[in-house]
């Protein structure tokens, strides 16, 4: 299958080095969802292996050499407690008071917080990842980092179709936020700037399936853990 994004570069699996990425990148972990469709509380707090999903995502980001920033809605205190218990108490957790609006609220709060941090510039690389994709491990992040071209966007492709994670400069992320609404987050802006997007095939490294419903969770429970 081929990607349906016009003008985007063809999916590639190349890129294993990090020479193109200047400075330490940031991993923005979107974890503010209430998980109402799943019915088990915030998905960030879903038990996973020996901890919870948000701890798993943070560990993956750290292993890839990124500085994690987590957005949180309901359950922020519990998220912070789990991170502290895992020795990750210094990770920034950003409150998203309007989390019920959708994923765009997480993007907006997270990008604003990253932009206020000392040393951050418009070129700072920001990798946006979802907390409820346990099949995405370090190998996927490493490939995106290796394929990243400053000024452009490296976006994971799954069997040719674009998805998460997405790695982009902070200035592009800010532009995407201005177009974000509801659960659209950065998708509208990315569609309108497909000429800047380099699709990076990752289906050989992981699984982009997320956990939205009880059936999704049941399917994941039947699989082997993927933490590569």
Strands (E), the chain: 9-12, 26-31, 47-48, 51-52, 67-72, 92-95, 125-130, 153-158, 161-169, 197-201
In 3-state terms the chain splits into helix, strand, coil percentages (rounded to 5) of 35, 25, 45
> What confidence tens digit (pLDDT) does each residue in 195-228 have?
999 999 999 999 998 887 778 888 877 775 544 4
- Please tell me which residue, 188 or 228, carries the higher pLDDT value: 188
Residue 18 pLDDT exceeds 50: no
Confidence of residue 27 (pLDDT cuts 50, 70, 90): very high
Name which residue leads in pLDDT, 25 or 39.
Answer: 25
| pLDDT category of residue 4 using cuts at 50, 70 and 90 | very low
The predicted structure's pLDDT at residue 79: 97
pLDDT at position 111, please? 97
For the stretch 60-83, pLDDT in tens is 999 999 999 999 998 899 999 999
Structural domains in the chain, sorted by start: 9-221 (3.90.550.10)
The pLDDT value given to residue 224: 55
> How does pLDDT run across 126-182, given as a tens digit for each residue?
999 999 999 999 999 999 999 999 999 999 999 999 999 999 999 999 999 988 776
Residue 39, pLDDT above cutoff 60: no
The pLDDT assigned to 5 comes to: 35
Using a 10 angstrom Cβ sphere, with 0-12 exposed, 13-18 middle and 19 or more buried, the burial of residue 191 is: middle
């Amino acid at each position: 299958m081929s990607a349906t994004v016009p003008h985007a570069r063809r999916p590639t699996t190349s890129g294993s080095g990090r020479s193109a990425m200047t400075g330490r990148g940031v991993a923005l972990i979107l974890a503010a969802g209430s998980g109402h469709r799943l019915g088990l509380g915030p998905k960030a707090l879903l038990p996973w292996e020996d901890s919870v999903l948000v701890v798993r995502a943070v560990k993956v980001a750290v292993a890839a050499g990124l500085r994690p920033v987590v957005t949180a809605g309901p359950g922020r205190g519990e998220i912070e407690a789990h991170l502290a218990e895992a020795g990750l108490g210094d990770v920034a957790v950003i409150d998203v008071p309007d989390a019920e609006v959708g994923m765009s609220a997480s993007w907006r709060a997270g990008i604003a917080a990253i932009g206020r941090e000392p040393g951050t510039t418009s070129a700072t690389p920001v990798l946006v990842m979802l907390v409820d994709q346990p099949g995405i491990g370090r190998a996927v992040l490493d490939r995106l980092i290796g394929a990243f071209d400053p000024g452009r966007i490296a976006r994971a492709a799954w069997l040719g179709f674009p998805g998460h994670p997405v790695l982009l400069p902070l200035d592009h992320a800010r532009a995407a936020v201005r177009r974000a609404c509801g659960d659209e987050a950065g998708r509208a802006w990315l569609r309108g700037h497909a000429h800047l997007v380099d699709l990076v095939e990752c289906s050989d490294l992981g699984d982009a399936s997320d956990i939205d419903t009880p059936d999704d969770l049941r399917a994941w429970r039947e699989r082997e853990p993927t933490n590569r």
